[in-house]
Structure 1
Amino acid sequence: MAKTGYGKRPAGDEDPHADPDFAHLLPRDAEVAVFIDHLDTGHAMGHKVLAAEHPRYGQQAMRTSLSRITEAGHLRWIKEHITVEDGTMRWVTRTYWSRTRRSREWWAQFARERHGKDVTRDHQPGLARIEEMVAAAVPVPAAPEPEPRPKIQPEPRPESVGAAYRALTALRAADARMPLTEGDCRSLAPLAEQWLSRGATPNDITRALTEGLPPTVSNPGGLARRRLESKMPPQKTEPRAKVTRVIMACATCDQDERTVKIDRGICENCREELADEPLTDESMVREIEEIAHLGVTSAYFLKKKLERATGGPVPDTFRSVPIEDRVFYHYRDNRDRIANGLPPRRWN
């Protein structure tokens, strides 16, 4: 998972799951899209992280598929300038995912609507932790001897109690008029934890419970409870933060539209590199293995691709060879060519 406020974020207003969600993509890209679609919100979206978790594709394949999925309208990297009430500012790169295919106009409108959004809850890089007290009393098993031994209550160990409990037990040393019992410390610990969660320190708790005491204190536990409740510090509030500027970023090189032209989520240089990606024996072997692995699903995607090229579905009776047979012929032909040291043929 990415840091809080980063990672995969749904663009919203999506269609329900359906089989043809990614039918317009190539087989490998469709498989990666399904993989991303099932990731939790907030998951890291770098190609290295995704490649480390995907069982079949490496970094280069994942990087290429992410670019194609972005071009198809499912992904966008958007840089948002965040301004906080305390005067601090920062740039944050958000990754927005849409299962439904979106047009470039839709994404442009989506980016414009991000301007002015309140992001108080998710602009921070992490969440504060509150130390929790662990119960120190552990049941003692019954002794096996016939004559039962007296049970001894175990003393709380320093590593088994929280800061709130320790602050209360230290009152006896700070002021002899506040000798809280163990029962008092355990019952008051939740109140002391609230103090710490609101930014107070153990010294603040000690000062609040020992300042201005009468000469004698008949009920230290009751007095401590009243003071902890009446002097409770206010709840901390996060400074408000909002988006003051939004710009599109390239999904491959992370440059933004201030320096390069972004079209369909990809800059011109990265699109040229994607189009000029060399066809190596290794990459073709991977493509062939993908076709063999996906089987009937591959034939379905390829059939849809041909239907788009011809303007509609074409019955197998009008084809010289059924599409499924073409897939397997292509696989077997290239398998034999590679085995004989010949370069593989592209799928046409």
Structure 2
Amino acid sequence: MTNKKRNAPARPRTRHSSGVTHVNEPHHDNFTVVGNHLAQHAELSLVAIGLALHIQSLPEGTPIGIKALAAKFPEGEIRIAAALRELEEHGYLSRPRERLQSGQVTTRTISYNKPRLAVALAAPVAPEPEAPPKAPPPPGKATELLAGLRARDSRLLLTERDVHRLAPAVSEWLERGVPPTAVVRTLTTGLPAEPIKHPAAFLAHRLTAQLPPHLPAPPRTITPPRPDPLQTCDGCDRAFRSPHPGRCRSCRRSAVA
């Protein structure tokens, strides 16, 4: 019993009287593997699907500009440019602009055999939100600071009523960015040699007379507007800046003329 050859052409199926019938023969060289996600894409036009198949079959480095493709096929530059934009929108093609060391801007075309996320056009950078105002320090921190002054000097012994009465003044210092250690140093440095009869009044005077100003607000950074993204002209395949794809100024003038 002889074995069947694996590379023998398959017989056409005759089970259905209508519809497509496939006669499939194996390819051993000079072929391209294409996914059904592209060949049966529901949103791409047939021109775009065919152009994607052609691009994926080309050797690395083959130029695929609009004019080069229009010279091969009868669709023309307008339909080819529209098909290239379709492939970009659905992630099968990307055409980033690169600036060479000479300063010249060139287009680098990247073909994907599986759809990638389309590269979004550069949008203006939104200004950074302003930092929310800092919450005032809890009054407990102010009361603890005042109650601990007697550890620095026993003459600064305060009653509980005096602590709560002076706490708002200490909180004002803390809200203006003064560290607690600096507040304690201000209240306990340079004390008089004689006894302090009214420590609450003495501290209230220092808190009021030596109150520092508010910190200046940081300067607001103004983000300059971003230039329009680079587009590829549908007529001459040159780069030009515009918010939307289309033709450059020279091609538009030529069309009007």
Same-fold status (TM-score > 0.5): no
Measured against the shorter chain, the TM-score band is 0.3 to 0.5
Judging by fraction of residues, say which structure has more helix.
Answer: 1
- Looking at CA atoms only, which structure, 1 or 2, has the larger radius of gyration? 2
Per the normalisation by structure 1, the TM-score is 0.30
